Amino acid sequence: MKLISKAALATILATSAFLGAAHAETLRLSHNTGDTTTWHKGAEKFGELLSDKTDGNYDVRVFPNAQLSGGDQMKQAEMVGRGALDLVVTSAINVTPLVPEMAVFSLPYLYANYDQVDATTQGEPAKLLENILRDKGIEVLAWGENGFREVTNNVRPIKTPEDMKGLNMRVAGPMYIDVMNALGANPQQMQWGETITALQQGVVDGQENPIGAVIIPQQVFEVQKHLTAWHYSYDPIFLGVSSEVWADLDADTQEQMRAAATEAMEYQREITRKGTAEGVAFLRDKGMEVYEPSDEELTAFREATKPAFDTWAAKVGTDIVGSFQDAIAATPAN
């Protein structure tokens, strides 16, 4: 038998590499924060893992700052649902216009700690939301973390609900309008992409976002003086794929994609929690005045925001709220 020449072998290898590359399918992933955030890092990690696991058959291009939805952070979910975007990393609160039940995660003071969060987002309760999202054309692959949202402003330290009175607050979504109204603040719904400039120019006095995922990587400390770690509302993110894309994948690829998403969101939660744990010291170092309320002070915020909890718990419905509350009650509050 004649051995194949080295030159012929090189040609064959180069051709198959070329064909392999030509067959790689690039999926587009949209998210609505900057390219320094843990959302972005989690999305990039997903792309690397998906490419590894599918031997280069699939790769992912990540588009930050809601570029693919004309800057509209709430529109992304609906676009994925009708197949106009392949993939999305978005937070629960951004999906509430499409699926009001997604507000359940962010009900004021629902969770006391991360164990309680994980008992719902990584457990059965989140499946109830996954089923609703599936009906809207979105397959949830894994849950990550935006985090406990903390309030910042340029007017005064916030220590009691009364301190919120009259402050002009940028908020992301409808539920937070009700929460801010309950506290006597003036809420204004605004895209995240416009918020830093609005804070800088004094169009609004303050905003609320998680420390590790957003406040630090997006340098909110450059434009805000005071932060109160009031942990008033938790916000998960999820990595979702359009049902159209999902249905076209064979079972092996579906499994590889889900595994890549699970690992990527695990990594994303880890770096987010690390950034948050180290965050208060970092922010003080940067010149922010950080106030950490006592348990009694937190109770006052919880009571003041109760009307918004009740309004939104009714919108979500007792089945879902009850499932979350049961899982939380079964998990120690510390």
121 vs 209, beta carbon nearer ligand X2X:
209
User: Which residue lies nearer to ligand X2X by CB, 268 or 331?
Assistant: 268
List, in sequence order, every residue forming a beta bridge with 239; answer none if it has no partner. Answer: 89, 142
Taking the least distance from each CB to ligand X2X, the nearer of 209 and 272 is 209
Q: CA torsion sign, 164 to 150 to 285 to 40?
A: negative
Backbone phi, psi, residue 90, to 5°: -145, 165
Q: How far is the CB of 159 from ligand X2X (least distance, A)?
A: 23
Report in angstroms how near the CB of residue 309 gets to ligand X2X at its nearest. Answer: 19
Q: Which is nearer to ligand X2X, 53 or 269 (CB)?
A: 269
Residue number of the CB atom closest to ligand X2X: 192
CB 223 to ligand X2X: min, Å:
14
Smallest distance from the beta carbon of 214 to ligand X2X, in angstroms? 5
How far is CA 332 from its chain centroid? Answer: 25
Q: Please report, as ranges, the residues that interact with ligand X2X according to CB under 6 A.
A: 32-33, 73, 91, 93-94, 146, 172, 192, 209, 214, 235
**Please, what is the minimum distance in Å from the beta carbon of residue 232 to ligand X2X?**
13
Identify which of residues 94 and 331 has a Cβ nearer to ligand X2X in the complex.
94
**Distance from C-alpha of 262 to C-alpha of 141, rounded to nearest angstrom:** 7
By residue count, the chain amounts to 334
Which of 121/256 has CB closer to ligand X2X? 121
Q: Which two tokens stand for residue 290?
A: 């950080």
- Give least dist CB 69 to ligand X2X, A: 12
Closer CB to ligand X2X, 145 or 163, in the complex: 145
The DSSP output letter for 2 is P
- CA–CA separation, 105 vs 257, rounded Å? 25
Residue 196 CB, shortest distance to ligand X2X, in Å, is 11
Cβ-count burial 178-203 (b if 16+ within 10 Å, e if not):
bbbebbebebbebbbbebbebbeeee
Long-range contacts of 48-51 (CB under 8 A, 24+ apart): 49/259, 49/260, 49/263, 49/264, 50/256, 50/257, 50/260, 51/24
